[in-house]
Amino acid sequence: MKKFTMALLVFSCLSIPTGSEASSPIQSIIDTTPAGGTVEIEAGEYEETIVIDKPLIIVGKGDVLLRSCEKEPVVTIAGEGVKIKNITVEHCGEEEKDTAVSITGSHHLLDGMKIETRRFGIMLVEANDVTVQNSELKGRNRGNGIDLWKSNQNQIENVKVTNVTDGIYLEQSHENVLSKNSLENSRYGMHLMYSNQNVLQENSSTSNITGAMLMETDKTSVRHNMFEANKSNVNAQGLLLYEAYNTEVIENEIRGNRVGVYIEKAEKNQLVSNKIIDNFIGVQFKNANENKISQNTFIGNVNEAQAIESSANKVDNNYWDAASLVDMDGDGKSEIPYHADPYFLTLTKSVPEYQLFFQAPGLILLQNLLKSPDDQLLTDSAPLMEMSLTVEKETTSRVGLWVMSILMIIASTSVFILGRKRK
Amino acid sequence: MKKTFLRLFGLVGLILLLAACGNEEVKPVEINESTDTCEVCNMMVANDQHATQIALESGRTLVFDDLGCMYEWLDGHAEEKIAAEFVRDYHNKEWVLVDEATFVYNQSVKTPMAYNVISFKDKQTAEEFAAEHEGSTVMTATELAEHSWERNQEMMMKNKMEHHSHDQAEGMDHSGETENVDPQTEESDSSHGEDTH
């Protein structure tokens, strides 16, 4: 394979500026390079849009910025086997459908890209087997970061997406793998609609309205992800399943969200071995049946679980930090079933001011006296005695603790002594 | 006699006037993108041409991110007292009463929940849109009420088929488990699909 190295700056200076060639130096090189060739772009800023529709390798040498405010995407990729590396792409158009990078066809690769957009970042339309990796994408919360439509078997790996509508959006797209991505400050981190057999693994979705939203999906695998601090919006949650079926939610960490996992009209999903920690509501069910919730660790949630109009869910062997447990036969499981009671939630819904009484002894007494309606309880038939997962809890440093205690002792004794003297 | 008649006339007039005032009071509310979620599907409601809303007589307003979600809610809440239903013009986002709007169904038009129906204030602009986009069906509000609200064509079909095959797994052999969509199964399911939803 021949390698074409082009010193673009020199090229554009030498050539006589005629017609479109002068205003689009990169495109003219792309057009003259035969399929299978390599185009190297010298460092610099280029104000143009490019179209690549044959197998080419495009590599940025140093800081290459491609910028355009036109209606067309800055980079349009079609056909097969296009590879683009180390290029910064900026689209400054404000129109609703403006897109920085548009991809159709198959077997493409985007590596080491930096993308800035005011609307959409990367749009895949009927594109298959495309890899987007080691890249960064930043938007203005007015369009999706990576948008897949009818696109299958694509890999999105190690991409950092911030400030977009949906970080990665899939519609009618199947068997895609999203791994090790970071999604922040967006509406939904990952949003799947009518898409089946996709894999979400080792992603981190934080400070979004919803960490991941699965709607009308089948056989999605959600493993080893981190859904954290999705809490600033009144409708926020870590993970939302709506009409999702056969989803495997395994070994994720769901921490500090408004609602950890919200499940509505969803059936036959598995929620296994997750850490569900410090959420306002750990797990919330609505019209959700035949789901399995097992071996999860629930710690520090204000309300552990609520189930509305939900039945036939298999809930067992979870660790609940609020449960009273008795293990008589030594099998590590309590003989007393645990009812996760959303009493506090029911109470504060009608009178929000009662939140002041959280964990007040009177309230705990009340909760034991007046249980929530049975149809709202989620019952673990055999809760675990010990947590099965190691959980790192914030611990105050030892020195700090000593200093604090000594100060307290001095303060209290001085009050005691001074008070006596006055008498 | 004449006096009572006049009084009666005045009273009737007053009632009519009040009634008219009452009707005008039902106004669409603004969509608040940061807090409004769809009553049916929980998605955040974007302040765009796809947003719809129902004003209940109780004064409560329900918002929906997609016309289809509104009809799904109507389907399940026949007993609710509704003051008004609003949709928006596809081009200028103006709020319009459902009964005064014209609708276009086109499978290639993207809507938030993929019901693929959009609304127009004027019949003429709806027809223009339909003429420009192949595969469009123009509908009035009454026709829309009869619309089947099929979502995203073959996707939904496939979803349903898989559940269908699970349900029947005992009665069937392993053919339901294979990855490939058997055209025969798909066909038999498309007839089944209508009564499951």
Residue A15 pLDDT: 39
Check CB contact under 8 Å for B159 and A218.
yes
Check CB contact under 8 Å for A196 and B158.
yes
Q: Pick A264's closest partner by Cβ from B42, B113, B158.
A: B42
CB B24 within 8 A of CB B17: no
What does the H/E/C string look like for chain A? CCCECCCHHHHHHHCCCCHHHHHCHHHHHHHHCCCCCEEEECCEEEECCEEECCCCEEEECCCEEEEECCCCCCEEECCECCEEECCEEEECCCCCCCEEEEEEEECCEEECCEEEECCEEEEEEEEECCEEEEEEEECCCCCCCEEEECCCCCEEEEEEEECCCEEEEEECCCCCEEECCEEECCCEEEEEECCECCEEECCEEECCCEEEEEECCECCEEECCEEECCCCCCCCEEEEEECCECCEEECCEEECCCEEEEEECCECCEEECCEEECCCEEEEEECCECCEEECCEEECCCEEEEEECCCCCEEECCEECCCCCCCCCCCCECCCCEEECCHHHHHHHHCHHHHHHCCCHHHHHHHHHCCCCHHHCEEECCCECCCCCCCCCCCCCHHHHHHHHHHHHHHHHHHHHHHHHHC
- Which ranges of chain B have pLDDT less than 50? 22, 154-155, 159-197
- Chain A contact set for B151 (CB, 8 A): 194, 216
Check CB contact under 8 Å for B152 and A209.
no
Q: Which H or E element spans position B186?
A: helix B183-196
| B33-87 confidence digits (pLDDT tens) | 889 999 999 999 999 999 999 999 988 899 999 999 999 999 999 899 999 999 9
Q: Pick B35's closest partner by Cβ from A218, A234, A245.
A: A234
Residue B163 forms contact with A (CB below 8 Å): yes
Residue carrying structure tokens 């409708």: A235
Per-residue pLDDT of chain A (423 residues; tens, 9 = 90+): 444 444 444 343 333 333 344 468 899 999 999 999 999 999 999 999 999 999 999 999 999 999 999 999 999 999 999 999 999 999 999 998 999 999 999 999 999 999 999 999 999 999 999 999 999 999 999 999 999 999 999 999 999 999 999 999 999 999 999 999 999 999 999 999 999 999 999 999 999 999 999 999 999 999 999 999 999 898 899 999 999 999 999 999 999 999 999 999 999 999 999 999 999 999 998 889 999 999 999 999 988 888 888 888 999 999 999 888 889 888 999 999 998 877 777 777 767 788 888 778 887 788 777 777 776 678 899 999 988 777 666 566 788 889 999 999 999 998 888 877 665
Check CB contact under 8 Å for A215 and B41.
yes
Residue B10 pLDDT: 65
Three-state secondary-structure class, residue B157:
helix
Residue A287 forms contact with B (CB below 8 Å): no
For residue A6 the two structure tokens come to: 């082009």
CB A164 within 8 A of CB A91: no
Check CB contact under 8 Å for B114 and A233.
no
Residue carrying structure tokens 């921490």: A255
Q: Pick B159's closest partner by Cβ from A213, A216, A233.
A: A216
Check CB contact under 8 Å for B114 and A194.
yes
Q: Which H or E element spans position B16?
A: helix B2-25
CB A206 within 8 A of CB A238: no
What is the rounded CA–CA span in Å between residue B37 and residue B52? Answer: 11
Q: What is the pTM of this model?
A: 0.79
In angstroms, the separation between the Cα of residue B35 and the nearest Cα of chain A is 6
Residue B41 forms contact with A (CB below 8 Å): yes
Candidates A97, A194, A233: best to mutate against B (most CBs of B within 10 A) is A194
Q: Pick A193's closest partner by Cβ from B35, B114, B158.
A: B114
Residue B44 forms contact with A (CB below 8 Å): yes
Check CB contact under 8 Å for B159 and A194.
yes
Rounded to the nearest 5°, which phi and psi values hold at A21?
-60, -40
Q: Which H or E element spans position B20?
A: helix B2-25
- Supply the DSSP string of B93-147, one letter for each residue: --EEEGGG-EEEE-TTS--TTS--EEEESSHHHHHHHHHHSTT-EEEEHHHHHT-
